Structure 1
Amino acid sequence: MSTEPAVLLERATAIVNAQLTELRQLYQAALQQQESLVQRVRLLSRQLDEAVIQEQFARERGLSTVAAAARVQQLRSEHTAAAQTESELRRALRQLDQLIRQIEMSSTTLTRHAEGIAADPWVQALRAQIIKGREEERIRLAREVHDGPAQVLANALMGVEVCQNLLQEQQLDRLGSILSQLGDSVREGLREVRSFIADLRPGKLEEQGLVAALHEYIRRYRDTVTNPVHFEADSIPRLPPEVEIVLYRIVQEALQNARKHARGAPVRVTLTLRKDRLYLSIRDEGPGFDLREVSRRAGRESWGLTSMRERAELVGAQLTVITRRGAGTEVQVTMPLS
């Protein structure tokens, strides 16, 4: 076997490329499986929502709910299992993707050295991270649409079906009440869609900076909740655009979680500047939760926490969640400004 440097590098490159090809095939196969699981989780979620509404409808009409309750329990169990499997596979895919990118960096280094060109594999890694970040953002938006406007539309569709049944049975006295509820639901859905569109591109963030944008968002947020929300912020200099949007999105996610789980408890958002560090805190006085239990389930409930942590890491910040049952929840973000 030749020991010429060029020959050695060529052989090493060939070995690395062969391994890369096999790993990419493994990644693509696992990715297709994960996408199928995502679709199944969404389908089960819709079916579960419909089953819950059907159970409520049967209970309101004084009908037997045994079969409907069993259906709800079965779908909930299937949804939890599928969501957990999808989450575990997603974590494995993330680790495999990191491994592939590290090997690609090594392959680029070998190739450049063989060609006598200075190598900078971190540039390639950064480009890959940007592309991956965009895809993850699309996935996050899809989840938000599913949990927000799509949920309202699904409930409205079930309401229409209930009205059709009542009309056929000539129960006109209840029809008016259901139609009124349906109208309220559709108006709520329209409000959520408009809010969703506004949140996709917060104009004040680009024009006036993070503090002004958070003031505007929290003002709109107060209009949708009954619990008091307090916001305090130091005078913060303009930060890089990617940092401002990440901190803005973390506040959005944390407040939406508080809206769902804090049960009307007070919420306080603070943005503090100390020396060369920026501190962001979103704390609610709600019931709190068992963080280890949520981490074990790693299903639908953990999407928000995972999203916030991944966002923070992308801009070099550290995100910590402090909570326990009966003691509220606090999301803390610490970021060096150097």
Structure 2
Amino acid sequence: MTNKNLEVQSLDVIFDRMVEVMDHSKKDIFIISEQSRQSFEEMKVELEIIRGNIETVIIEGDSLESKSRLSRNRLAEVSKNFDSYEEPQVRSAYETANEIQINLLIKRNEERQLRQRRDELERRLQGILEMIERADQLVNQVNIVMNYLTSDLKDVGEALENAKIKQDFTLKIIEAQEEERKRLSREIHDGPAQMLANVLLRTDLINITYQQRGGDEAMKEIIELKEMVRNALSEVRRIIYDLRPMALDDLGLIPTLRKYIMTTEEYNPTCRINFQTFGEEQRILPNFEVAIFRLVQECLTNGIKHGKFTEASVKIEWTKQKMNIFVKDDGVGFDPKVVKEKSFGLIGMQERVDLLDGTMKIISAPGRGTSILFSIPINKE
């Protein structure tokens, strides 16, 4: 075995060990993050209970305050006209005033302790939230480094000998992949995860509602809880569909696009999308079908989110040599020269088109909608 092979093997062992250590670190950070989220939800429930207790204690304290004023007035009257009252009446006035005053002090002390606990919980919740955000950032950073190590630097000795491998696995592609993971993480956190957290909170509050306001009010909470679960399930299904439509492998590009457009209109009832195809449809390479589907998806998503269109059209033309995709909407439009360099979505589409050896042309202006034309060669091996 040559010294060169020994050096390559040694480098591979080092990188494998680095990846293993970072993977363990990522899992540890993830566990801490999940435990923090669980503590966060538990403290939110406790905070709601304490806020309710504070409201109850304040009402009871105000009632005792009124009784204390009346008892003091009675005591003042008895003291002023001491000779007119019998000893039991005088003793009763003093004992009543003293008992009410003691109960009032106890109640005010209880209110003070509850307020301190509430303030402490609010500070801890803010601290835990910041910890969760930092943990998520650390996980994302570790993911970027791990992807770089496992994709670009795996078998680093051979990679150094082959410049093409280094070009194929560029840092820009890794960053694009990680951006997609972050987008998915945000969707799950802001959608199903948040809904499920609310479901957990509502289940704890239903018991309190039943005890304090009865079965009818608790049943209303249960009905709302059921609707929240239904919405969470719908969000999960939408996210799964966005990751990769299963129909793309089974039915092909055109049927999948039709279904996607119908689904998009259902989720956005104020938008209308017209879909047309021209020429003889055919199955093309799977990676081409996925790329073209993502291009159309990105155009419509940007048009709805940023362009705010009400009508759009998607036209696909098949020829022997290439496939032309034309997406047009009546949205607010933009200046391509200003936006293109700052838009991650447009940069991602251009990179996807470049990988397919195709071309992309954008026609848009503020207030005049947007038209995007893709031309993709489909006769290549």
TM-score bin, normalised by smaller chain: 0.5 to 0.7
Letter matched to residue 260 of structure 2: Y
Tell me which residue corresponds to 1:35: 27
Deviation at 1:12, TM superposition (A): 0.9
Deviation at 1:214, TM superposition (A): 1.7
1:224 matched to 2:216? The reply is: no
Distance 2:272 2:251 in 1: 22
Identical amino acids, percent of aligned pairs: 20
**How many angstroms apart in 2 are the aligned matches of 1:332 and 1:34?**
42
Which residue number in structure 2 is paired with residue 160 of structure 1?
A: 203
Question: Highest Rg: 1 or 2?
Answer: 2
2:290 corresponds in structure 1 to: 245
RMSD: 5.7
Query: What stretches of structure 1 of length at least 5 have no aligned partner?
Result: 1-6, 110-120, 127-131, 296-303, 321-325
Secondary structure in structure 1 of the residue aligned to 2:22 = helix
Tell me the distance in 2 between the aligned counterparts of 1:93 and 1:30.
7
Aligned residues: 297
1:43-122 alignment to 2 at 5 Å? 43-44=35-36, 70-101=123-154, 103=156, 105=158
TM-score, normalised to structure 2's length? 0.53
User: 237, 249, 269: which one pairs with 1:206?
Assistant: 249
Pick closer, same or farther for the CA change 1:202–1:94 going to 2, 3 Å: closer
Q: Find the aligned partners of 1:181 and 1:74 in 2 and give their Cα distance.
A: 30
SS of structure 2 residue aligned to 1:223: helix
Per-residue displacement from partner, 1:259-286 (whole Å, max 9, x unpaired)?
A: 8x66976585746569746558698969
- The verdict on how the C-alpha distance between 1:150 and 1:266 changes in structure 2, with shifts beyond 3 A counting, is same
11, 31, 43: which one pairs with 1:19?
A: 11
1:184 aligns with 2:237: no
Superposition pairs for residues 263-282 of structure 1, below 5 Å?
A: 266=310, 268=312, 270=314, 276=322
Q: Give the TM-score normalised by structure 1.
A: 0.59
The amino acid across from 2:221 in the alignment is I
Q: Offset of 1:14 from its aligned partner? A: 1.0
Secondary structure (helix, strand or coil) at the match of 1:239 reads coil
Instruction: Give the secondary structure class of the aligned counterpart of 1:153.
Output: helix
SS of alignment partner, residue 267 of structure 2? coil
Structure 2 spans left out of the alignment, 5+ residues: 56-114, 169-173, 362-366
1:22/1:203 Cα in 2 relative to 1: closer, same or farther (>3 Å)? closer
Partner of 1:3: none
Partner of 1:4: none
Q: Note closer, same or farther for the CA distance 1:306–1:147 as it changes in structure 2 (3 Å cut).
A: farther
Task: Report the AA paired with residue 15 of structure 1.
Answer: E
- Pick closer, same or farther for the CA change 1:152–1:96 going to 2, 3 Å: same
